[in-house]
Amino acid sequence: MADNWIRIASDELGAAINPFGAELSSLTDAEGRELMTDADPAFWSGRAPLLFPIVGRLMGDAYRLDGNTYALPQHGFARKQDFVLVEQAPDRAVLRLVDNEATRAVYPFAFVLDAAFSLRGATLSMDITVTNSGDVDMPASFGFHPALAWPLPYGAAKEEHQITFADDEPGQLAAIVKGGWMDAEGWESPVDGRVLELYDELFERDALVWNPVRSQSLAYGALGGPKLVCDFPDTPALGLWMKPGANYLCIEPWHGIADPYGFTGEIWDKPLMQRYAPGQSRTFTMRVTLGD
C-alpha cells in the first residue's frame, strides 16, 4: 500500500482509499486476504474509479452545451483529480473534490463531490454526494467502478464463481460497440433466471450492461464459499466488466451511460443525464458485505 493511502477498519474488514481519485484501493477481510483486484498493469491498473460527471464514453469524446463543444474523456475527470481529506475516524473517511481551473475548462460548473467510505462489521458503505454549488442548472451523471478479486481468496477456481441477482434479469443487454458507445441492437442476456455463470469469454466483446437493471442487489462468489453481497439502491443501470485473463471483476452500478452510437444532441439529452438545480444534492450509495 502507498504511504498516502487513507486506512479505515472495522472488526471484520479493512479498507484503504487513495486520495488521487478518492479511489478505494484495498478491501481486506479479518485475516488480511485481499478482496479487490491485483491491479496487474498488463490488463488494467485501475481499482475503483469514481465516474463523474459522465459515465461511459461520449461520441467524439466531446459534448455540446449551449452552442459550445467541450472535450471530456471516458468516465469524466474525477478519477484523475486529487481529493482532500475532510473527515477521518478509525472506521470512516470523507474525501472532497471541488471545481477548479482544470475542471472548469472542460465542465463549466461549480460543484462539490464528497466521497464517504465507512466500515461497520462486515459491510463497506460508499456514499458519494454530488452538489451543485453554482447558480445555474448543472448536468451530471455518476457511476461506481470497483474491481473485485476474481477469484476471491477462498480457494475456488475462477470458473466456479457466479453472480446471483436479487431479481430475474430476463431483458436484453445493452450492447457496446467498438469504441465504447452504446448500440441500440442489444445482446442476448446470458443470465439464467437470476444466475450468471462467470467465465472470461463473457467479456470478449466488452462489458455486459443492463439498462435498465431490475435488481438493486446481487451476490458474487463461488457456491459453498464466502460471498460479496453488493447493494446499490435506486440504480437504473449496471455494468459488469473485466479483461479476459485478468484477476478482477468490476461490478458497476451506474446513474448514467455512454452515448448511443451516432448521438449528436446536447448533454441535457444524453440518456440518464440528471439535472441539478442550484444548491441541489444527490447521494449515490453502494454497499459491499462479506458473508456466507
Pairwise CA distance, residues 241 & 227, whole Å:
18
Name the residue ranges covered by the structural domains of the chain. 6-291
pLDDT tier at 185, thresholds 50, 70, 90: confident
How many CB atoms sit inside 10 A of residue 278's CB?
12
Residue 1 has a pLDDT of 73
Enter the C-alpha cell of residue 172.
436484453
Neighbour order of strands in the sheet with 281-291: 84-89, 92-98, 111-120, 123-132, 281-291, 227-231, 217-222, 161-165, 195-197
Give the total residue count for the chain: 292
The stretch 23-27 carries a mean pLDDT of 98
Pairwise CA distance, residues 208 & 36, whole Å:
20
Residue 131 has a pLDDT of 99
Pairwise CA distance, residues 13 & 115, whole Å:
19
Residue 292 has a pLDDT of 81
**Contact (Cβ atoms closer than 8 angstroms) between residue 274 and residue 255:** yes
Pairwise CA distance, residues 174 & 186, whole Å:
5
Q: Write down the number of H helices and E strands in the chain.
A: 1, 23
Q: What average pLDDT does the structure give for the chain?
A: 96
Residue 183 has a pLDDT of 87
Residue 179 has a pLDDT of 84
DSSP codes, 195-239: EEE--GGGGSSS-EEESS---SEEEEEETTS-EEEEE-TT--EEE
User: Which residue in 75, 25, 73 sits closest to 50, CA to CA?
Assistant: 75
The stretch 218-232 carries a mean pLDDT of 97
Residue 177 has a pLDDT of 87
**Contact (Cβ atoms closer than 8 angstroms) between residue 51 and residue 75:** yes
Distances, alpha carbon 183 to alpha carbons 9, 27, 48, 106, in Å: 42, 34, 25, 26
- Answering whether pTM is above 0.85, one says yes
Q: Which CATH number does 6-291 carry? A: 2.70.98.10
Q: Is 155 exposed, middle or buried (0-12, 13-18, 19+ CB in 10 A)?
A: exposed
